[in-house]
Structure formats: C-alpha cells, structure tokens
Structure 1
Amino acid sequence: MQEIKVQLTDNKKEKPTDEQLPFGRYFTDHMFVMDYSQEKGWYDARIIPYQPIVLDPAAIVFHYGQTIFEGLKAYVTTNQDVLLFRPEENMKRMNRSNHRLCIPELDENLALEALKKLICIDRDWIPTQEGTSLYIRPFVFATEPYLGVAPSTTYQFVIILSPVGAYYKEGMNPVKIAVESEYVRAVKGGTGDAKTAGNYASALKAQEVAEKEGYSQVLWLDGKEHKYIEEVGSMNVFFKIDGEIITPAINGSILQGITRKSVIELLKYWEIPVIERKISMEEVYQAYKEGKLEEAFGTGTAAVISPIGELFWNDYKITIHNGATGELSKKLYDTLTGIQTGKEEDPLNWVMKVEG
C-alpha cells in the first residue's frame, strides 16, 4: 500500500457550533487527494489543506459527466471513540460505480485507510450533539482535457468532510411525498445502480415541482411501465403492508443502498418478515383502501430512516399511519442510530472504530 503524505494547514477555520449546523454547508480543514494516469495508475496519495480544485475548462467531467461519489458518516460516542458504519460497503459500491462509468478501480483498503487518516487529522470537527455527525464525501472525476466522447485517461480521487445536522428539517417527523408521473429517474441498463452525478441532476426538476406543491420529495416509478415503485427521492423505500415489510427488488435501476441492506438484515435478525420484490403504486393504494397499509419509510445515509406520512398519487391523498411515525420506523431509526453512535449493541458487527 502506498504511503499517504500529509501537509497540515497553517490557517485553521472557525468551526460552527453544533446548534447551527445545516446539512453540507461547512467543510473541515483538510482533504485527501490522489491522482491517476494510465502510465502510473493511482499515485501521489496525500492529505492537504482544504482548497479549490483547479481543472482545465475542457476536462471531461464538465462535458460528459464522468464522475462518481459516495456518502457515509463518522460519529463520536460518549466514550469519545470515533465510529464508522459499514465503510467497507461504501468502498465496494464505489468500485461498482467506477466500473459502470469506465473509471479505473481504486484500492479499497487504501481508500479506507485514507478516509480514516483524514478523520483522525480533522477529528475535532466531529459534532457531538444528538442528531449530528461528520458526513464523508469521497468522489472521483475525469480530469483529461478532451472534447471527444471517450473515457478519460486521467482522474482525481478526493475525500472531503462536512460536519452536519439533520438532513430533513422535519427531522424524524413523517414527510409528504408526491408520486412522480412525468419524469423518470433511471431505467434498467442505465446508471440508476451507480452513484453518479447525472442521476441526481436529472431528478432536480421533479423535486422542484414537488416542493412548490408542498411536498418534501418525489416517489419514483419505473421508467418503462410507470407503475412499479423504485426509490423515494435519493433513498430506498419500504412499505409495511398487513404485517409484511416489502421493498423494491434491486433490478439494475435501483441503487444498492447500504442503509437499505442494513434494514433488511436487521429485520431478518429480529425475525420480522421482509421481502424484496416488485411493488406497484396500485398495490399500495389498494392496501391503503383495505386498511392494510401500516407504514412507509425511506432509508439512506443522510436521513437514516425517513417516515412517510402521506403519498399523493393520481389526485388521491394516501395518509399513512395517520400521518404519524410508525412503531417499526422509530424502532429501526433508534436501533440504527444507536449502533452508529455506540449507544446500542452491535450484534451484526457493523461499526468500525477509527484508531489514532
């Protein structure tokens, strides 16, 4: 494994207080950077002061969107230990995204080592108030100046850190979601199962429309038949119908969420029935009419668990659990955040302690 060089800043930033933390607006003092060329492979791993990235205007990332990213969090426990939640899963997914975008594979062990070293250097940026964390954003982008449509021959891998508060201003309160009927997030064979910037840019218009109508996010349907549920906003989604937990099966257009995977494994550990399969909006609506739709919630790194209190579909307002947080949603949130922050037992060995 190559050595990671370190250059510490001489000009530390003023830190925000935990009470004033939004999501993703503040950044720590340092960043990790590593370069790639066809001749050298990945080289020059280094931690440097946080600073702007200088790129040629013709860099491929600007014109053809060849870039991927990840998102995970670090937490401080009451014992002042620093914990990561399943970071090896993020490293695996990063390389799956790299493969889809024709980006050279990263050494997952080196990437994780760099991430941990960066956290140790900027450890005092990790907020401690309940509901806060240190958000970690690794990303890779094409740097070659070339206006031809082809994979780049040069890349940069960067990790930045951001102390954050709650992702949704509503907190753990249920959100109102509009079912999207016009725009499409992704299709099978596309890039929906990769974490790439274009997926999120193409989703902005539907989200903008939904927010103007008073909804927090959109529920995406499949791009072919426009009837099967895929994701909610940028999160995976679960429904509790007549005692059974259902989540859309991974199908090539749905992101393989790490929180999603953890929820499924936790439900199985609790011996609660959970199934991955196709589920249509019509099925959800029929379950609602029959009084069998008990809960719905999104899962993702940023919000962990986001209960859904209302779905708006075909002019129908579908109220879920009387618009209140369901018992299972709360139990999952409390357990997952408890494990992540070291307050709960970790029976499935998900957390990793950052030493140093």
Structure 2
Amino acid sequence: MGIETKSISIEKVKTSRIDQIDFNNLAFGSVFTDHMLVCDYKNGAWELPKIVPYQNISLDPSSKIFHYGQSIFEGMKAYKDKNDAIFLFRPLDNHKRFNISANRMCIPEIPEDYFMDGLTTLLKLDSAFIPTNAGSSLYIRPFMFASGKGFHASPADEYKFIIACAPSGAYFAGEVKVLIEQTYSRSANGGVGFAKAGGNYAGQFYPTQLAIAKGYNQVIWTDDTEHEYIEEAGAMNIFVRINDTLITGPTSDRILDGITRKSIIEIAKKEGIPVEVRKITVTEVVNAAKAGTLKEMFGAGTAAVISPISAFGFKDTDYALPKLDTPYAQRIKKIITDIQYNKSDDPYGWRYKVTN
C-alpha cells in the first residue's frame, strides 16, 4: 500500500521558470523543472518525502559523500502522448536496480511507495515541463547520497534521496566513433561495476578524454585483466551484430544490468532476430570487421535509447561499419520509442501510466 499523497508535503514555487525554457532547442540535462522531491534518512528511518522548489543543497563540509563517495543514481524518462497523458517506461525496474545499487554501497534502501508515489506526484505537479517535440522527453534523475557528518571511514548515519528532472532533447546527435580501450578499466571482478554508483562514472572521464583527443567520441570498455572481452560502450551497454545475429555480453560484477538492454533482447526475440548473450572478444569483432560480416554496433541506455556506432578504433587502425538500409538499431529503437510515447500497443507491459 502506497503512502497517501497528502503525506507528501508540497511547497510550490512562487514564480515558474517555464517561460525561460526554449522547448524547441533543448540540450540534454541542462535546464530543470520548478520542483524536486527530497527525502531524508535520519535516526534509522526514512522521513516522509516532500516536494520543494528546485534549489541548491546545503551540506556540512564533513558530509561523507565528499570523502567516501557513497552515492548512487538512476536514469529515467517521462513521456507525453498526443493527448497529454504521461507515461514512464519500466519504472519498477529502475526502483529495483536503485536498491541493488544502494545495498552494494551500504546505503539504506528506499521503499517502493516513497519512490513511485513521490515520483508520480512530482510529475503531475511539473507536467507542463514534459516536452512534446519529437525525440524529446523529461529526463528524471533519482539519486541518493551520504549526508551524515564525520571524517571516520565508515558508512554514514544520514542520507538524502532526491528526484530532479530536466526537459531534454537527444543525448547523442547522430552516430559515434569509438576507441576500444586497452589500458584502463571501467570496473573489476568483485567491484561495483554493476551498480549505478557515481564513482563508476568519474573513473571513466579521464580515459574518455584521452580518446576524444585522438578523434573519437567514446570508449568501448574491455575486461580488467586481458582487455580482450568487450563489455560496455561509454556509459551504455553494447550490442554487436555479426551477420544476422545480435550479440551482447552477459551481466556480471562489472556490467550494468541495463533496462534498455533487457528490452532490446526481448524485442529482438519477439521480432525473430537471432540473439546471443555471451562474451564477445575484441579479436572476434576485429576479424568480423575485416571479413565484412560485422554489420552493426550500438550502445544502449536510457538517455540515448540506442546510439549507433559508425566506426571503432583498435591498435591504430579504424574500422568503419557499413551503411545498412534497415539496421536492427533503427528498427528496435522505433519499437521502444513507440511504446514509450504511447504510439503503439505494449505487448510487454512496460508502459506505466501516470495520468489519464
């Protein structure tokens, strides 16, 4: 049973910022809605969530987030259909993964009703910020971090859960060129690679900047020991198409259990596309590129949905992907986005209606 909506206190803004937003020219995640949800964990329990005007956060300099990195987040989107009804895409999977991340980082779990009722109340309040332009959506960022004080290296005793939202355009524009990483690692066995922990992404920035300096857009991460197994593309899961078979690596301690990834696998199976979930070696991909059997590579994640890869670099050689008339990436992305925007039937039960 969910918390009653009346239990969520709401402090509305005095003046909306919506007139300052150009919905026809939205960047990704750089302008924000009027309100945010805040919920504090103190004295061993979660307090009732509240919605307040979007604002800065004040923290003690000894707050443990600054020193020991207890921080997790999720990425979600809200969509409007042609009748202005609001929808989410597999939000209960986001909540489940959020708590998996929380457990790994020794952070208390957030109850489902706090997460879902808080989110839907926030979306209804700021519904005018959900874009209706093609390809746009309201990006939703639930996050949680250690707000408890002290320099002692131990889990905090207080935490803050926040949901903030940003009307956004496309995450990536067009195809990307990637570099297969052979020196740095994103994560390791027994580590926190499967969690959406802030530090996972901070550690990616330096190798990615090195790749950008060489003319690439992103890095393809490989395993931490041999650098032979392909694992993720930037901050996304990765798919490889060899001939007519779509291949993606299995989830593990090192690889995020992506919701878009799971959706692609289910759609591909339903569409009759051969799918293999198995380890993929760099050697296999390079040999397929040389033989002309490598047809597609693409990243998959909430922000971009599917991001086609136009070429990859490995050991000072670039390999271009062919231009296809009907790539799997385009076909599957349309199926996903049509479900998200309520343009088609949803045989999977993924669409979650927020308003009528």
Measured against the shorter chain, the TM-score band is: over 0.9
User: Which residue does 1:273 correspond to in 2?
Assistant: 274
User: Which residue does 1:20 correspond to in 2?
Assistant: 25
Q: Distance in 1 between matches of 2:34 and 2:191?
A: 37
User: Which residue does 1:30 correspond to in 2?
Assistant: 35
Contact 2:87 2:355 in 1 (8 A): no
Q: Distance in 1 between matches of 2:9 and 2:189?
A: 41
The number of residues matched between the two structures is: 351
Q: Distance in 2 between matches of 1:344 and 1:31?
A: 31
User: Which residue does 1:331 correspond to in 2?
Assistant: 331
Which one of 43, 59, 64 corresponds to residue 60 of structure 1?
A: 64
What is the identity, as a one-letter code, of the residue corresponding to 2:156? S
User: Which residue does 1:142 correspond to in 2?
Assistant: 146
Q: Confirm whether residue 201 of structure 1 aligns to residue 206 of structure 2.
A: no
Shift of 1:19: 1.8
Shift of 1:44: 2.8
Shift of 1:293: 0.6
What is the identity, as a one-letter code, of the residue corresponding to 1:28? T
Shift of 1:209: 1.3
Q: Confirm whether residue 352 of structure 1 aligns to residue 352 of structure 2.
A: yes
Which one of 11, 16, 20 corresponds to residue 15 of structure 2?
A: 11
User: Which residue does 2:343 correspond to in 1?
Assistant: 343
Q: Distance in 2 between matches of 1:117 and 1:275?
A: 40
What is the identity, as a one-letter code, of the residue corresponding to 1:334? K
SS in structure 1 opposite 2:109?
A: coil
Q: Distance in 2 between matches of 1:287 and 1:108?
A: 45
Q: Distance in 2 between matches of 1:287 and 1:20?
A: 40
Q: Distance in 2 between matches of 1:259 and 1:15?
A: 32
1:114-193 equivalences under 5 Å are 114-168=118-172, 170=173, 173-193=174-194
111-120 vs 5-14, greater mean Cα deviation = 5-14
What is the identity, as a one-letter code, of the residue corresponding to 1:302? A
Shift of 1:295: 0.8
SS in structure 2 opposite 1:58?
A: coil
1:31-72 per-residue CA deviation (whole Å, 9 max, x = no partner) reads 100110234x00131011111111000100011110100010
User: Which residue does 2:101 correspond to in 1?
Assistant: 97
16-25 vs 85-94, greater mean Cα deviation = 16-25
User: Which residue does 1:237 correspond to in 2?
Assistant: 238
When normalised by structure 2's length, the TM-score is 0.96
When normalised by structure 1's length, the TM-score is 0.96
What is the identity, as a one-letter code, of the residue corresponding to 2:202? A
Shift of 1:177: 0.6
Q: Distance in 1 between matches of 2:329 and 2:263?
A: 13
1:244-267 per-residue CA deviation (whole Å, 9 max, x = no partner) reads 111011121000100001000111
Q: Distance in 2 between matches of 1:66 and 1:325?
A: 46
SS in structure 1 opposite 2:300?
A: strand
Q: Distance in 2 between matches of 1:112 and 1:327?
A: 36
SS in structure 2 opposite 1:89?
A: helix
User: Which residue does 2:213 correspond to in 1?
Assistant: 212
User: Which residue does 1:44 correspond to in 2?
Assistant: 48
Contact 2:28 2:169 in 1 (8 A): yes
What is the identity, as a one-letter code, of the residue corresponding to 2:333? Y
Long gaps (5+) in structure 2: none
Q: Distance in 1 between matches of 2:110 and 2:43?
A: 13
Q: Distance in 1 between matches of 2:205 and 2:110?
A: 29
Q: Distance in 2 between matches of 1:288 and 1:38?
A: 57
Long gaps (5+) in structure 1: none
Shift of 1:326: 5.4
Contact 2:181 2:227 in 1 (8 A): no
Aligned-pair Cα RMSD in Å:
1.3
Aligned-pair identity in percent equals 43
1:308-343 per-residue CA deviation (whole Å, 9 max, x = no partner) reads 110000112111124x68521110111111111111
SS in structure 2 opposite 1:95?
A: helix
1:146-194 per-residue CA deviation (whole Å, 9 max, x = no partner) reads 11111111001000010001111x2xx3211111112111112111000
